Amino acid sequence: MDDKKILLEELGTIGLTTDEFENLVKGYEKITIKKGDLLIKSGSIVKGYYFVISGFLRSYVIDFDGNEVTTNFYGKDALILEGRSFFMQIPTKEDVQAVEDCVLWIKKIETFNKDFNLYKAYRDWGRARLVGDFFSLKERTLSMITDKASYRYKELIKNHPEIIKKASLKHIASFLGITDTSLSRIRKEIL
């Protein structure tokens, strides 16, 4: 049950009975991926969502010039859901790559749909997660438009220090929407 600690912390407070929780947890499968491997490949249809038990991952897209642009980072306890592909069952535009060796729990779409229809508390939790993710994305989008890059970097340091420790400067720069050179200048100014 130690490996299921993340699931217990995430799902244990949503109002399920012990039996419901145990049945819900049975629907998750533990997987591992190696550093550099793709968890999700662009062009594929996403068949599950993931909880990160250990490791660090990043999602990215290829822009119109052929450059990788980091769209998100995922560390321990994160939920990875490429919702557009997962819910609509259409090909994703993003890749999700392991930056470190990773252990994850996956819940496949068939099991998700069954459990989603069976447990009201699970439906409520899922909706709350989606709403929270939507507002985070909206906040990030507005910040990219209204905040200076130096402010976005300082906020990243303050709110997500694990990204600063684990991600490459190139990936952090692309996530912030700036060049490597600009990030180096900002880092020097802050120090």
Domain range annotation of the chain: 2-145, 147-191
Average pLDDT, the chain: 92
Which of 12, 6, 143 has its CA nearest to residue 74? 6
Stretch (H or E) spanning 100: none
The residue behind tokens 């990204």 is 163
The yes-or-no verdict on residue 48 having pLDDT over 60 is yes
Q: Which of 42, 48, 49, 47 lies closest to 63 in space, CA to CA? A: 42
CATH code reported for the domain at 2-145: 2.60.120.10
pLDDT of residue 14: 75
Dihedral, 27, 39, 163, 72 alpha carbons, nearest 10: -90
Contact 58, 73 (CB under 8 A): yes
Distance CA 110, CA 46 (A): 12
Task: Say how far apart CA 170 and CA 176 lie, in whole Å.
Answer: 10
What is the spatial distance between Cα 55 and Cα 99, in angstroms, rounded to a whole number? Answer: 8
- Burial classification of residue 61, based on how many CB atoms lie within 10 Å of its CB (0-12 exposed, 13-18 middle, 19 or more buried): middle
pLDDT category at 40 given cuts 50, 70, 90 is very high
Could you give the CA distance from residue 176 to residue 65 in angstroms, rounded to a whole number? 18
User: How confident is the model over 63-91, as pLDDT tens digits?
Assistant: 999 999 999 999 998 999 999 999 999 99
